[in-house]
Amino acid sequence: MKGMRVMFVLMVTVVMGSCVTQQQRAEEKARMQEMVVEAVAKKQWRIDVTSMSTLRYGSRTVTPDFYLELRGDTLQSYLPYLGQAHQAPMASPSQGLNFKAPIIKYEERKPRAHLSQIDIDVKTQEDTYHYHVELYDTGQAYIQVRSQHRDPISFDGRM
């Protein structure tokens, strides 16, 4: 009988712990959703990139220091590039997609709940770039980059 009480107490403890964990997850999810919505509305966000997918070389994991950052009307891109340039860039081709430039065109839409799509056009001395960013309320992000003189490339990351 004493063993049954101990088992009952252990089972109740596990169930209560599970409820607390689910509640914590729900609160964390709500905080993240609020943070993403606020950042998109203010045009103040940063996506830390975790992997890239290239047209010619497949998918690769990247080091954690690469990012895409929006601050008002300026886009700062510090992203790796692996692909073919169709025209020789003025800067070193190993430089990647590294620049800070004013935004020419910015368009934001919310096609579904929990998803914001942002299209950003910027022009640098070397090229003109179109960034298509999909931000989920979970903080997950997907970035597609097209340019006039390079193969397209995409990135996965987290806000």
Collapsed DSSP state (helix, strand, coil) of residue 8: helix
pLDDT score for 33: 84
Rounded mean pLDDT of 69-90? 83
Domains of the chain, residue spans: 36-158
Task: Please check the confidence at residue 125 and state whether its pLDDT lies above 60.
Answer: yes
pLDDT band at 155 (very low <50, low <70, confident <90, very high): very high
CATH fold, domain 36-158, is Lipocalin (2.40.128)
Rounded mean pLDDT of 68-91? 82
Q: Model-level pTM?
A: 0.79
Give the C-alpha separation, 155 to 59, whole Å.
9
Give the C-alpha separation, 125 to 100, whole Å.
11
Tokens found for residue 147: 């340019």
Tokens found for residue 125: 């001395």
Rg (CA), the chain: 22
Task: Please check the confidence at residue 17 and state whether its pLDDT lies above 70.
Answer: no
pLDDT score for 26: 82
